[in-house]
Structure 1
């Protein structure tokens, strides 16, 4: 009998209950017990929802108050020493590792001042995980039994779940050595870690768990030989233990074919494979399945919001049944549904036709169940008919096609993606215009989005204040930001972006071809949630999007003010893209829309224009090969199409964050100045990689995702380290990222200390 399975469900709650609770806890508004109650209520709600939908295999331990990888670090005591000396509770240790902690001593508590661990993108998604950080002094042991506790919690509700754990090889491979142990190879710790996995698996078996899902997503990467050997070693080890639950080894986000030799013959009960992202791997995967193993067919998309095509999906599942038999096939989501919004039923303002194209996490439960019933011979004719009509309707929709956009994309040539002169010729012209000091200071773009800003935006959206009143308010906020930057001595200013709800959504709302949700939130990291806009059709810009605010900001200061835009790749990657058109085409459509905006900004007198591409690395195909090489080419071309229509004296900036970046790929963008997240990088070799980068660069000096305030001396120490490898004449001073999520007081102090450090080095380099 074919079963249905879900690999994970969004933990944020349909109305962002988790965000509200965690932020209230951080701000001292609720107790830890109240926080834990919210978590328990959300888990209960999710389990019951899946049970009522008819899902056979329901996950547990997919909940986290911050990040599931960080949970594992806490569970296995992978806690760097700097977090253990403050006598923090487990939950406060978790939060300190995730976001840093800085507080003064009280009568009952020690002073705390500790930075966050490094945070990076989860494969090619916009979810961020907290990177495990290992040291030669790491002492593995179990801290509690979270997976067991949550399994038992579901069991008390009468719901039998399949606990989810990130696998030992992925956990180690995705981690890094701490700065005191840079020669440590994390995979060398496998033998120490495996007994802890066995211990937690044994506890799960004793609690009644019959099956566990162990995720090894690194199996879709180009794994070195030692990592492939580690896979065999780990799962052979588990197979040699007695009384463990059956293991479903899960992969997702790509093909496992290059690593099949590491998977074949493993003593696991089932293998889960993502056939949404890589349907071409089907035959080779099926051939590698052992005689008694089950294949979990990942066929309902866990990464996008388009309605499943039941006919196509059922055909793939039936093909698996023909090869393996119904008892050895599971119909599943391709990955965890963490990456999709919770419930389409919460969207009351979407056009009815467009809404019919979509499926959010709750609806995907029904999709898994319907496909399972269909391939099992049950009567789901009505659901199949409705689905077929919806799929056909989308293909013919008036929202999809724009002949003028298609023609313009076809007209793109090399000239459109090439600046008038190379950087070494542009630089003298720019220096003559700006006359900036050594170590020029700037910020990345946004300033704190205060409660007052959100209230006034909400009033404007509801029509309770006029457009004139709202513009007056926005201008007052812009002036406040400009005056603050002048006061502390920043060199290149920004307008602060008070008018923007999100760096992609704001532009998407002004571009034809996008659709937007009201409650389509997904978790990006911690309590930071985003509402990705949805690309439903061909994209074009009907009018200027950001010129008015930039022009106003420049009109009230003599210092240069950057025009701030989000780049084509980031607009694409931080949206839910179309699945009926390739991503290159969508990127070029966005590039042309942004090219018009860049040119309008320049014509309006804006001399510095920043086009951010924080998602550039995120879009990189996970494996080496022709697809990756092609991406490098067209992603850089899209950026240059957007930015190459300006004069030599106009300075183009770009920004990248929370990714491991190759200088050669950044060089291909031909931006005059780039800023890169750097504050949590511990490896001096990372700086050295940029030593010969030809253009100018700002390595981010403080973590804007943490409320912690660095001192002037910290900035001086960080800059000193950078200057050992990077030439002073090319170095800009800036934060890691935008300041939208920070409060004004921490912003004021952090930027003041940063500027003071820049002035210190100007004095040092006077002669």
Structure 2
């Protein structure tokens, strides 16, 4: 028996990766210094891997995103970026003015950059897999080179597709037909074979191919493509094929692939295990059993896993114990956490602890006494009840169908709201947050460390709110926000104020690039002991005659972007959070707040990968939103979504029964608008995100206008709002102010033109 781990966080125990990247971007570090720092992080990761497990990869240490790295490796550089010139082009593709589209990686909160295929031949541009393999080999380590598999690379890419019509028009879309793949596959396979040959010459015998797209519901012709791919890659290196996040879509075709080892996620679903037990497993392959959860922070019940391994060992003589999916969804280590609720820390296991769990599992399986004792101790701990609230349970049990419905339908609500708010055509607003400057972060840290009093901190926050209200009025925005200066993160802020949820000090996880967040831990029944946002929102509203939005994070997003309990259904947790948020909505209404935004950016992300499970998920996800947004008819309820594949779920989004939605449209060049051409029933107001806040580039009036004009070809002008595509927290004031001025100018120009017409 061997152990294999992959996907260990590259962030570093003190967020060294983030510091390196951001110092380089600021010009405070040379490329040589950046490279040296990244190499030191890779050595640290390899040291941890080699301490705990037998097998581990090289090639995971990306400077921004692993899909971008694969695109660079195979020479897939869109023509608009010109000739590739190293890091300048790399970061231009990642975060420049014309950056690649960014979206969620499967059903996770990691964002990847979507490769764009233009029909060009692939070629090795930068052999990153070889570079990292030889680097670690040269330092005395023995890793296995790791690459994203060709099929997953193509499946997650977009290509220019001809749009049917009298004129030749092209839009970016995912590959959807066999001929789309056949156009690119031969060239891509040739490059992968060249990569394999280079690794073999460097001493590699095995390669890890991550092919998670095999868990999608694939058509038969797609499996033909997959089989052709693996047949074409035979004969150079032994392939360890890894899938994760769900069950493989065709078990029989999967286990027949010509590879040395096959990986299964045995945590996220039961289907993989059922198929293994029912259909058996090939005798000539190693079975990589993903039994340690790579997405949740709870300690593994090793006793349960040992029994599972005993069953699996009867199927394969070569059993490899592994994590269920990449470990980069977890913080690095639980070790420095010293302020968690009593009894919680010993129930937790972060990435470093997951490596140790793999080691203990192997030792226990082999009968080592100390490991077997630890298995029993953990089982005894995890069998104890934890975090239950009778009051929350009583409130849940009393819910009826009426609790999920607003008092009036939208068509009647909107008339009342328009009379009260009296907003112009193309009303302008922002998504919620404004720049969190170094001063803001320093004051928050000083308050948390006890260096300034609560009174001093609140005075500072009020000054920031005054400042941002004044700026918004000067720019001419129609619906204002308070800026969210008191908030670290849109989920963490609420988690700190809710019972049954814990937050960490050092539990950072990468979301994209250098952007990190600390996912809270839902460990018990959730309740709201007192108002969470009332003080700041009502103060902001007292400073202006214009409406100020109440800003809340929705129940599905709080659930999805947290580590959640595994002892109760997700639906029940979502309803608990929704009831807590409903209490907040009622308090905001009573205080005179007329517009309340309940953000749900994780609404799509939380959906199961396989559509056969969608109805069950969307049923409770929609109800959770409707439960927390059961406001008075005169209260305008907004929601916000960004950076996910929303086109295919517009009918579900519509059922949420909000009044206004804001949605990303800039990086995807307004692609979301296509969805409304097909969904004819759409009558809700919608804010099309007109510029990309993840880029420091300031959008021109022409760029903003282009997106709005495209929207007007599909949607009634009376429905359109104008806003950025996400919050402005990570931007600088010198970028934000001119960008918003351009946005407001375009909205005003369009109003005047339509009045004249």
- Is TM more than 0.5 here? yes
The answer to whether 1:284 aligns with 2:275 is yes
After superposition, where does 1:487-502 map in structure 2 within 5 Å? 487-502=474-489
Structure 2 match to 1:249? 241
Equivalents in 2 of 1:184, 1:361: separation in Å?
33
Equivalents in 1 of 2:135, 2:416: separation in Å?
66
Structure 2 match to 1:363? 353
After superposition, where does 1:192-591 map in structure 2 within 5 Å? 192-239=187-234, 242=235, 244-256=236-248, 258-285=249-276, 287=279, 289-325=281-317, 328-351=318-341, 353-377=343-367, 379=368, 381-397=369-385, 399-591=386-578
Structure 1 match to 2:40? 41
Check whether the contact 2:509–2:517 (CA below 8 A) recurs between aligned residues: yes
The answer to whether 1:706 aligns with 2:706 is no
Check whether the contact 1:357–1:391 (CA below 8 A) recurs between aligned residues: no
Q: What CA deviation, in whole Å up to 9, does each residue of 1:495-531 have, x standing for no partner? A: 0000001100000000000111111111100000110
Check whether the contact 1:663–1:689 (CA below 8 A) recurs between aligned residues: no
Partner of 1:12, secondary structure, is coil
Which residue of the other structure, out of 737, 741, 744, is the alignment partner of 1:752? Answer: 741
Equivalents in 2 of 1:203, 1:652: separation in Å?
57
How high is the TM-score relative to the length of structure 2? 0.95
Which residue of the other structure, out of 648, 651, 675, is the alignment partner of 2:636? Answer: 651
Equivalents in 2 of 1:274, 1:237: separation in Å?
25
Q: How far does residue 349 in structure 1 lie from its aligned partner after superposition? A: 2.5
Structure 1 match to 2:753? 764
Q: How far does residue 50 in structure 1 lie from its aligned partner after superposition? A: 1.5
Q: CA RMSD in A?
A: 1.5
After superposition, where does 1:562-641 map in structure 2 within 5 Å? 562-625=549-612, 627-641=613-627
Q: How far does residue 743 in structure 1 lie from its aligned partner after superposition? A: 0.7
Which residue of the other structure, out of 86, 92, 99, is the alignment partner of 1:90? Answer: 86
Structure 2 match to 1:696? 685
Structure 1 match to 2:164? none
Q: How far does residue 27 in structure 1 lie from its aligned partner after superposition? A: 0.7
Structure 2 match to 1:129? 112
Partner of 2:343, secondary structure, is helix
1:406–1:735: structure 2 CA closer, same or farther, 3 Å change rule?
Answer: same
Which residue of the other structure, out of 133, 140, 147, is the alignment partner of 2:122? Answer: 140
Structure 1 match to 2:101? 118
Question: How many residues are paired up?
Answer: 738
Q: How far does residue 394 in structure 1 lie from its aligned partner after superposition? A: 4.0
Partner of 2:130, secondary structure, is helix
- Extract structure 1 runs of 4+ deviating beyond 6 A: none
1:69–1:162: structure 2 CA closer, same or farther, 3 Å change rule?
Answer: same
1:91–1:754: structure 2 CA closer, same or farther, 3 Å change rule?
Answer: same
Q: How far does residue 288 in structure 1 lie from its aligned partner after superposition? A: 5.2
Q: How far does residue 149 in structure 1 lie from its aligned partner after superposition? A: 1.2
The answer to whether 1:668 aligns with 2:683 is no
1:744–1:502: structure 2 CA closer, same or farther, 3 Å change rule?
Answer: same
What runs of 5+ residues in structure 1 fail to find an aligned partner?
101-113
Check whether the contact 1:231–1:263 (CA below 8 A) recurs between aligned residues: no
Check whether the contact 2:433–2:483 (CA below 8 A) recurs between aligned residues: yes
Q: How far does residue 139 in structure 1 lie from its aligned partner after superposition? A: 2.9
The answer to whether 1:153 aligns with 2:151 is no
Q: How far does residue 147 in structure 1 lie from its aligned partner after superposition? A: 0.5
Check whether the contact 1:691–1:725 (CA below 8 A) recurs between aligned residues: no
Equivalents in 2 of 1:477, 1:680: separation in Å?
30
1:459–1:332: structure 2 CA closer, same or farther, 3 Å change rule?
Answer: same
Equivalents in 2 of 1:323, 1:79: separation in Å?
44
How high is the TM-score relative to the length of structure 1? 0.94
1:549–1:139: structure 2 CA closer, same or farther, 3 Å change rule?
Answer: same
